[in-house]
Structure 1
Amino acid sequence: MSIYDDIEKIKQQIEKEDEVPLKIALFGQPGAGKSSIINKLFGEQVAKTGASTDVTVDADFIPYEGLLLVDLPGYGTSKFPPNEWMSRFDPKDFDLFLCVFSGKFHDADTAFFKELKEEGRVCLFVRNMADQLWEDGKTLEELEQNIRDDVEKQVGSKEKVYFTSCRNATGFDVLQEAITQSLKPAQREKYTRYAKAYTMDHLEAKKEECKKLVVRYAAIAAANGINPIPGVDVSVDFSVMLKLFSDIRKSYGLNDEKISKLEGAMLPLAKKVLDYATREGVALLLKRFAAKTAMKSTAKFVPIVGQIAAASAGYAMTYTAGNHFLNDCHELAAEVLKKELT
């Protein structure tokens, strides 16, 4: 087996991951803030807010970076009786369900949850608008316990309830962890990469997943080898490297708009991240690591493997450059998160 056979396997693996999206469905009362929950989970305006799908005839399908988020219409309504609902939206088509509510738990949500339980599907209960919980003479802990008791009474089993506030961005660190742990390993990797980090632990997990991307894309870029690096006798595929850098930035939520708002001590690092995410920046970064990686690899492998030497040298360079860009993005995202947490 040659290095090119290995590269073909990597390409097929990436294509397969892209073809099968992670599907997360949200259901619950109108006005409970399902769209706002989606936006908080991913740190940007992924879903339109203010419009309810609970009384419409179709679900709202929202594709996002290898995920498919679905705002489901109301279950058990006049337009969607239970049998018709279940035939159109098969629970087996979804990987995870979030039941979102902001007031008293509804009978329709109870009925749907019991259907999901019979199908063996995982459902997390999210009590949104937790910042509005208040009752004279009762503590917040007592009010939250009352909600848990009400859910247990309704659904007939003890279920964990996650309290969130989109206004204050609270509770999402715990919810993100619960979602991650509820997914299968391959799905967990994808969700970790693209979901917004609310804790440093999540940010570190995100970095580990991005390291895997660097390995895959560096191998492909080196094997394709179509763009000569100025002053270096090695070629790589710049388009693959640009895709890698773009994926890393998306994983950390570092779009141009967010980076442009950074100031103070973060500016130099922000400029580096922007500069390296261009074709010219990729070439400059690769050339920067050429002397100590490409030459060393060539000296070691040319007498033995001959034709594969170029791919080996290219891999060493692209792998090193990719990890350098990843470290810069991680450092910048960590500073942004620290600022958010304070």
Structure 2
Amino acid sequence: MEENFPLNVAVTGEYGSGKSTFVNAIRGVDNMDERAAPTGSVGITEDVTPYSHPNYPHVTFWDLPGVGTTNYPAAEYVKLVELERFDFFVIISADRLRESDVKLAKEIQKMGKRFYYVRSKIDNNVRDKEGKQRGFDAERTLTQIRENCIQGLQEQGLRSPQVFLVSSIDPNLFDFPLLAEILKRKLPELKRDAFLLAMPNTSLEMIDRKKEAFKSKIKYVAGLSAAVAAAPVHGLSIAFDLVLLVGVFTRYVFGFGLNTSSLRRVSRYTCVPYVELRSAITPSLTVKKVTPVLVLKTLFQTVSIVKLMTGYRFIPMLGIPLSMAFSCFTTYKALNILLNVLADDARRVFRKALD
């Protein structure tokens, strides 16, 4: 499962670049949340600080101090920060390319790892230019900023730099969704789903990709259900399947951001009342905790089929093979039903948040 593969993402940039706000946004955490990285005048990063994803603790975003600070001089930065332990790097800048950013990017490329240059607070740049230019064209302005950043990095000898223009205040705008997709693609295969599921729902396409990631694992869960069904113990398979379904269902809820804390964070970001977001979810699923009763309610017809399985278990010769087949089939069908219901709920919540 994706939770078995730790993922370490380094985020660096000078003070005031919006680094901590980005760390919060990419984790889907509001700046006022108790788990948020400190921002504003109190948000000076003096040491390497880890921030785990609230729903996926194996995914950690590391807030790095800037290159050349008192505790992290440029000559010793790579050694002190231990850059080799990170899977990839995000370099944040709020205005122009800094010498310290270039030095760090070169060190990262020397290690054979990737960095992504993020121009933050792009909403402020667009708003400022809009007020100063006649015939303002937002797309042309964004293209010009992006090209200037790429040219500046290339002039410093950096190969094939990738530049993203983002607003951490509203992750649905500009290049934030594209950044999340690119980061996922570039990861080793075993870590892609871990990163994908930890991302906030920045688009309907993101929700669809999460659904596909979950769906690809259903066959393995169904296989585990079939293996347990081979044990000739009355009632064991049904009990195990319910526990299994509750666990997977819970992962779906958190992966799609439909748990209470995630919905409240979306409410704070979008200013859409929490109760309105909650109203977009299937009524029977608006509970704080996933339980066997909730699973039974959602899967009443499927569970009735599961109950028939126990009758086959003790038929000589055919009981166990038939029980294994039924257990595999019903678990596979049940998880697909649950996945479809929650993916639809996630789409409705996303649309409601944009209203």
Q: Per chain length, whose mean CA-contact separation is higher, i.e. which structure has more relative contact order (CA < 8 Å, sep 6+)?
A: 2
> Does the Cα contact within 8 Å between 1:218 and 1:315 map onto a contact in 2?
yes
Distance in 1 of aligned mates of 2:344 and 2:12: 36
Q: Would the alpha carbon gap of residues 294 and 29 (structure 1) be closer, same or farther in structure 2, given more than 3 Å must change? A: same
Q: SS at 1:289's partner residue?
A: helix
**Equivalent residue, structure 1, for 2:147:** 145
Distance in 2 of aligned mates of 1:340 and 1:100: 27
**Equivalent residue, structure 1, for 2:286:** 274
> Does the Cα contact within 8 Å between 1:213 and 1:244 map onto a contact in 2?
no
Q: Deviations over 1:260-290 (max 9, x none)?
A: 92549x7374322235932211234455313
**Equivalent residue, structure 2, for 1:121:** 113
Q: Would the alpha carbon gap of residues 77 and 310 (structure 1) be closer, same or farther in structure 2, given more than 3 Å must change? A: same
Letter in 1 for 2:110: E
Normalised TM-score (structure 2): 0.77
**Equivalent residue, structure 2, for 1:329:** 342
Q: Deviations over 1:242-276 (max 9, x none)?
A: 22111101110111252892549x73743222359
Normalised TM-score (structure 1): 0.80
**Equivalent residue, structure 1, for 2:79:** 87
- Match for 2:255 among 246, 251, 264? 251
* Percent of matched pairs sharing the same residue: 21
Distance in 1 of aligned mates of 2:219 and 2:20: 35
Q: CA deviation at 1:311?
A: 4.2
Q: Would the alpha carbon gap of residues 217 and 111 (structure 1) be closer, same or farther in structure 2, given more than 3 Å must change? A: same
Q: Would the alpha carbon gap of residues 262 and 218 (structure 1) be closer, same or farther in structure 2, given more than 3 Å must change? A: farther
**RMSD (Å) for aligned C-alpha atoms:** 3.4
Determine if the alignment matches structure 1 residue 200 to structure 2 residue 204.
yes
**Equivalent residue, structure 2, for 1:319:** 332
Map 1:139-288 → 2, pairs under 5 A = 140=141, 141-154=143-156, 156-169=158-171, 170=173, 171-220=175-224, 223-224=227-228, 234-257=238-261, 258=263, 261-263=274-276, 267=279, 269-274=281-286, 277-288=290-301
**Equivalent residue, structure 1, for 2:302:** 289
Q: CA deviation at 1:330?
A: 0.3
**Equivalent residue, structure 2, for 1:3:** none
Map 1:103-122 → 2, pairs under 5 A = 103-122=95-114
Tell which deviates more after alignment, 210-219 or 180-189.
Answer: 210-219
Q: Would the alpha carbon gap of residues 341 and 174 (structure 1) be closer, same or farther in structure 2, given more than 3 Å must change? A: farther
Q: Which runs of 5+ in 1 are unaligned?
A: 1-13
Q: Would the alpha carbon gap of residues 304 and 38 (structure 1) be closer, same or farther in structure 2, given more than 3 Å must change? A: farther
Letter in 1 for 2:12: F
Distance in 2 of aligned mates of 1:119 and 1:326: 40
- Match for 1:42 among 22, 27, 38? 27
Q: SS at 1:316's partner residue?
A: helix
